[in-house]
Structure 1
Amino acid sequence: MHEIPTSLLILNGKSAGDETLREAITLLRNEGMDIQVRVTWEKGDAGRYVKEAQQLGVSTVIAGGGDGTINEVATALVDCAGEHVPALGILPLGTANDFATSAAIPDALDKALQLAIIGKAVPVDIARVNDKTCFINMATGGFGTRITSETPEKLKAALGSVSYLIHGLMRMDMLKADRCEIRGDNFHWQGDALVIGIGNGRQAGGGQQLCPQALINDGLLQLRIFTGDELLPALFTTLTQPDDNPHIIDGKSAWFEVNAPHELTFNLDGEPLRGEHFRIEVLPGALQCRLPPDCPLLR
């Protein structure tokens, strides 16, 4: 019998009681697949489990959760030293699965699990911020970030991506542009930014396509800045006719530097990072990831 490689599933504690998932895992185990499960309880757990996975010599570490879980596992894999670093598998279980959705990971748990275990592993990029924090999907800054970090969970669950917008409109006092300067390869801009998206992946905020051209294996980051003094018109034209919008500035580069005269907040796949200076650079092919053959994020 052909031996099926071992996988270790790192499961976000919120999804630990999912019966469908339990059934899917039991089914695959009955088919002869060796799947070990670890549940995260607090920050840092994912990193420890990745180390354990490497010691066990498993071929895949599956991140079971939303964008934050995927990013935490991906970062820990990138930080692994030595040979035989496991590949990353993705099991989307969060409220906003932006990375999994844009990578065309199947919604059905059993299909996503199968892909995560036996799918072809391809090298993908990850982005590093200020030489330490990573993100696999996107860094968003400005007004959108404040909304995302302050949108109540219940509203998120009920309304999905629309909730971010509605919540933003309810909080008009928070709609203010941030003065900043952004540099990259052959790129320089300064002015007032309403939202900044720096994408390795394409979408954030539960389905907003901020960087629609982004690819995760081209060694580049996509930048999109939403400008505008009149915030509401900018916001609405962005949603209705994004291609023909004077309030959008696009760029691409292997690195970007963002400087602001005051503290800015960037949301890195759900993890807020505050500061006045950010250097964001891509680490090309830093990670092996099991993705569908028709994955739109691969060139």
Structure 2
Amino acid sequence: MLDKLKSRRRTHPNVVVCSRRIQHCGLIPREHRMESTVSPLPTSFLILNGKSAGSELVRTAVNKFRLDGYAIEVRVTWEFGDAERYVAEAVRLGVDTVIAGGGDGTINEIAAALVQLPAEKRPPLGLLPLGTANDFANSCAIPEDTEKALLLAMVGKSAAIDMACVNHQRYFINMATGGFGTRITSETPEKLKSALGGASYFIHGLLRMDQLRADNCEISGPDFHWQGDALVIGIGNGRQAGGGQALCPNALINDGLLQLCVISAEEWLPTLLNSLSNDEDNPHIIAASLPWLDISAPHDVTFNLDGEPLKGKNFHIDIMPAALSCRLPPQCPLLE
């Protein structure tokens, strides 16, 4: 199967590999064409969220790069678990990159499948942002242009990045959020998200202020302890969630630390408004940098792990340093 992938570039009659670029030679006679003197272009395995499969921009970009000689296999997810099966298929094929095409939830599912593989079998992760908010991709400065993003995902320089593990069984690559913001994210109507993108979360939140309530919880970690009523809890490997809200503006994805941000319930309205402008002097915003932390509550609390819900009373969250390799822009803001 892999030989089939790599041979695809040789089936185009007018393609020549030269100086790591593919050049179309038009009607140049075969006897005058140059032979390839470099290694084949990398092979990629694109896993698309089903909602993005019909995108003409994606189809156009994939077809263009295939004509240019890149080997790209495409799979479309239909239900939970598909991404894990496709990652296993990609590993069997020995591809150079697995590309997550979708939003933060799609990236989460594919990254989680990769990180559970033996380290020597994990191909680099590429990002093709096609979701509503694209918080992780935007924080990483992935191009919004589909063609540019796909090219970066295929051939960009890879960097080792951290991931986080929750209760030894669930993962997040960007952020875990709890409290009022989590409820808003899960309750925002799909039609509103489609129409307004990331801003839909903020607008829907304003409409639901009458239902604002805090979660009583206790949070502890190395040389850290806090207990109280929290409106919003953010545990960041990345910086932003909920459609662009920078809960953890100083987070880095390769520093071996989690960034904690708690917005307490005291004087909740000014606290919440100040938090939106990243007021670091606000006494009701609690922040810490920790390699691990424990959260406990007397009642069920729901955390969104890159948008995927997890409910419980007790959470143990660890950072996993250098867990994955990811193809990122040269000046990615989330790298040290």
Task: Provide the residue aligned with 2:240 in structure 1.
Answer: 203
- Which has the bigger relative contact order, CA under 8 A and spacing at least 6? 1
Q: Deviations over 1:88-114 (max 9, x none)?
A: 000000011000000000111111111
Task: Provide the residue aligned with 2:285 in structure 1.
Answer: 248
Closer, same or farther in 2 for the Cα pair 1:75/1:261, shift >3 Å?
same
Q: Which deviates the most, 74-83 or 215-224?
A: 74-83
Instruction: Return the alpha-carbon distance in structure 1 between the equivalents of residues 278 and 309 of structure 2.
Output: 29
Task: Provide the residue aligned with 1:265 in structure 2.
Answer: 302
Report the residue type matching 1:27 in the other structure.
K
Conserved in 2, the CA contact under 8 Å of 1:176 and 1:231?
A: no
Shift of 1:241: 5.7
Task: Provide the residue aligned with 1:143 in structure 2.
Answer: 180
Shift of 1:125: 0.4
1:79 aligns with 2:79: no
Closer, same or farther in 2 for the Cα pair 1:211/1:121, shift >3 Å?
same
Instruction: Return the alpha-carbon distance in structure 2 between the equivalents of residues 239 and 270 of structure 1.
Output: 19
- Within the candidate set 43, 62, 69, 1:25 is matched to 62
Structure 2 unaligned regions, length at least 5: 1-35
Percent identity between matched residues is 66
- The alignment's TM-score, normalised by the length of structure 1, stands at 0.97
1:111 aligns with 2:148: yes
Instruction: Return the alpha-carbon distance in structure 2 between the equivalents of residues 65 and 254 of structure 1.
Output: 29
Structure 1 unaligned regions, length at least 5: none
Instruction: Return the alpha-carbon distance in structure 2 between the equivalents of residues 240 and 221 of structure 1.
Output: 21
Task: Provide the residue aligned with 2:333 in structure 1.
Answer: 296
Q: Write the mapping of 1:55-134 to structure 2, written as runs, cut at 5 A.
A: 55-81=92-118, 83-134=120-171
SS class of match (1:9): strand
Instruction: Return the alpha-carbon distance in structure 2 between the equivalents of residues 37 and 137 of structure 1.
Output: 24
Instruction: Return the alpha-carbon distance in structure 1 between the equivalents of residues 148 and 199 of structure 2.
Output: 28
Instruction: Return the alpha-carbon distance in structure 2 between the equivalents of residues 164 and 18 of structure 1.
Output: 23
SS class of match (2:325): strand
The CA RMSD over aligned residues, in Å, is 1.2
Instruction: Return the alpha-carbon distance in structure 1 between the equivalents of residues 182 and 197 of structure 2.
Output: 16
1:176 aligns with 2:213: yes
Conserved in 2, the CA contact under 8 Å of 1:175 and 1:231?
A: no
- Within the candidate set 203, 206, 212, 2:249 is matched to 212
Report the residue type matching 1:69 in the other structure.
T
Runs of 4+ in 1 over 6 A off after TM superposition: none
Count of residue pairs the alignment pairs up: 299
Shift of 1:82: 6.3
SS class of match (1:22): helix
1:11 aligns with 2:35: no
Report the residue type matching 1:55 in the other structure.
R
Instruction: Return the alpha-carbon distance in structure 2 between the equivalents of residues 82 and 177 of structure 1.
Output: 40
- Within the candidate set 224, 239, 252, 2:261 is matched to 224
Q: If you compute each CA radius of gyration, which structure gives the higher value, 1 or 2?
A: 2
